[in-house]
Structure 1
Amino acid sequence: MEADIPPLIALENVQFAPEATPVLRDISLRASERRIAIVGRNGSGKTSLARIIAGLVLPDEGRVRIAGVDVGKDRRAALKVVGVLFQNPDHQIIFPTVEEEIGFGLTQLGQSKAEAARNVTAILERFGKSHWARAAIHRLSQGQRQLVCLMAVLAMRPKVILLDEPFAGLDIPTSLHLERVLDGIDATLLQITHDPATVQHYDRVVWLDEGSIRQQGAPAVVLPAFTAAMTELGGVDDLSDLAG
């Protein structure tokens, strides 16, 4: 029965309070839609939640399962089900050339060097970037480095791709190109953003406010409420009230 099928993304009573400072409070979420957004202002806990969903940080309480995998306890299995595209590509790039960067994750999955090399070639060909294989990453633009990171994630074929403010710092043409690429990806996208314009076409929006889920549902319902609240907050004259 359909009701018995576990959700792709399952968070149960997640709490996170580094250095005794509450950041996430009792977050529960069950979702299987193909395009899910988590919106919120700066300081709402979005990035912390993203890192917990990716298994990079353990919650103080609660459980996170992606495609049935407890991502905080089984890192090898987590690599197979969830990939991450960070806001700043330099925060995840660790190798000097494109082929080395893409190939690293594949070897972490247990692929042989030969198999990883074949898959690197395949993903570069898919994007028409075969000539990038031995390119020095530091010579690429930020948008090009972001594409390298995305290719590295896609090569690992995760079920969920977590996007943490993927358009931040990109110019308009590069953002539009990246958006077209993301729209064509055959995987569930979970985008963390403060910009409602980038997720209007998504299936579900979750509004995170001060570490808790304030509202969730269809974009046509949640985004106007979120935008109205942010507009009202922006009308406050005291800048100390805007810190977040």
Structure 2
Amino acid sequence: MQSETAVGSISVDRVTVEREGRRILRDVSIELSAPRIAVVGANGSGKSTFARLLNGLVLPDAGRVMVHDLDSRRDAKALRRRVGFVFTDPQAQILMPTPAEDLALSLRGSPRARVEARVAAALAEHGLSDRADVPASELSGGQRQMLALASVLITEPRLVVADEPTTLLDLRNSRRISDLLLSLASQVVIVTHDLDLAARCDHALLFEKGSLIASGAPQDVVSEYRELCA
């Protein structure tokens, strides 16, 4: 059963992103308020760049991005506190030697007793209690991705953006991460090649060659993507 989702608005207005003279995104505009949003498209289509716009990892060269009433350029610091980002490769996020230390890092600045209690709760919730103090390098691929996701969720973000979070996982762990993402109380944007996962969302976007070419019901967008690939 899914939790009641705290939905906010996402507004991308005529956004263009360029890198080394090449346009990665071209004049993208979209208003989103669905709880769970899938972003699909071929490699190099611009979908990951779109995801990075949502927490200010990428800033637009033209246009404006508003996420939960925060401007990605003007309110960058506040936006990064409100939006949690989960990378494809968890090694990009796991910074400390052990799971317990990594989760504690996300809560730096909080009272020690509160950190210890929340870390213990997060480890238990995500099935990592028995791995709390083992080297993170010894975790399985699924456990590493679960830790990366837990380190984001422990900060209680209002929006979670996950960039191909299941790509490196086997079927069992892929399903486990997918189910967790879709059950969150936070609003979720998932960049994915897993069309079954995309179809389980409330809304979907399709990118092609830097342009947003479809937006709507997931089954319709997935069908259009399949036709495009064919």
Query: Do the structures match in fold with TM over 0.5?
Result: yes
Q: CA deviation at 1:171?
A: 0.8
- SS of match in other structure, 2:107: helix
Q: How does 1:59-138 map to 2 (within 5 A)?
A: 59-107=60-108, 110-138=109-137
Instruction: Look up the match of 1:141.
Output: 140
Higher helix fraction (1 or 2):
1
- SS of match in other structure, 1:94: coil
Q: Which amino acid aligns with 1:45?
A: G
Whether contact under 8 Å (2:85, 2:162) holds in the other structure is yes
Instruction: Look up the match of 1:198.
Output: 197
Q: Which amino acid aligns with 1:202?
A: C
Q: How does 1:37-76 map to 2 (within 5 A)?
A: 37-76=38-77
Instruction: Look up the match of 1:151.
Output: 150
- SS of match in other structure, 2:56: coil
- Assess, with a 3 A threshold, how the Cα gap between structure 1 residues 7 and 169 changes in structure 2: closer, same or farther: closer
Q: CA deviation at 1:193?
A: 1.7
Give the structure, 1 or 2, with the largest relative contact order (CA under 8 Å, sep 6 or more): 2
Whether contact under 8 Å (1:39, 1:206) holds in the other structure is yes
- SS of match in other structure, 1:223: helix
- SS of match in other structure, 1:23: strand
Q: Which amino acid aligns with 1:228?
A: E
Whether contact under 8 Å (1:207, 1:214) holds in the other structure is yes
Whether contact under 8 Å (1:38, 1:192) holds in the other structure is yes
The aligned length equals: 224
- SS of match in other structure, 1:156: coil
Q: Which amino acid aligns with 1:127?
A: H
Q: CA deviation at 1:167?
A: 0.9
Distance 1:194 1:125 in 2: 30
Distance 1:112 1:12 in 2: 40
- Assess, with a 3 A threshold, how the Cα gap between structure 1 residues 29 and 133 changes in structure 2: closer, same or farther: same
Instruction: Look up the match of 1:18.
Output: 19
- Assess, with a 3 A threshold, how the Cα gap between structure 1 residues 79 and 106 changes in structure 2: closer, same or farther: farther
Q: Which amino acid aligns with 1:131?
A: D
- Assess, with a 3 A threshold, how the Cα gap between structure 1 residues 106 and 70 changes in structure 2: closer, same or farther: farther
- Assess, with a 3 A threshold, how the Cα gap between structure 1 residues 20 and 140 changes in structure 2: closer, same or farther: same
- SS of match in other structure, 2:167: coil
Q: Which amino acid aligns with 1:20?
A: G
Distance 1:112 1:211 in 2: 45
Stretches of structure 2 that go unaligned for 5 or more consecutive residues are 1-6
Q: What is the TM-score when the length of structure 2 is the normalising length? A: 0.90
- SS of match in other structure, 1:65: strand
Distance 1:156 1:170 in 2: 24
Matched, 1:226 2:221: no
- Assess, with a 3 A threshold, how the Cα gap between structure 1 residues 70 and 19 changes in structure 2: closer, same or farther: same
> Identity percentage over the alignment?
34
- Assess, with a 3 A threshold, how the Cα gap between structure 1 residues 70 and 135 changes in structure 2: closer, same or farther: farther
Whether contact under 8 Å (1:196, 1:227) holds in the other structure is no
Whether contact under 8 Å (2:100, 2:132) holds in the other structure is yes
Instruction: Look up the match of 2:206.
Output: 207
Distance 1:128 1:193 in 2: 24
Distance 1:83 1:203 in 2: 20
Q: CA deviation at 1:101?
A: 1.2
Distance 2:23 2:220 in 1: 28
Q: Which amino acid aligns with 2:82?
A: V
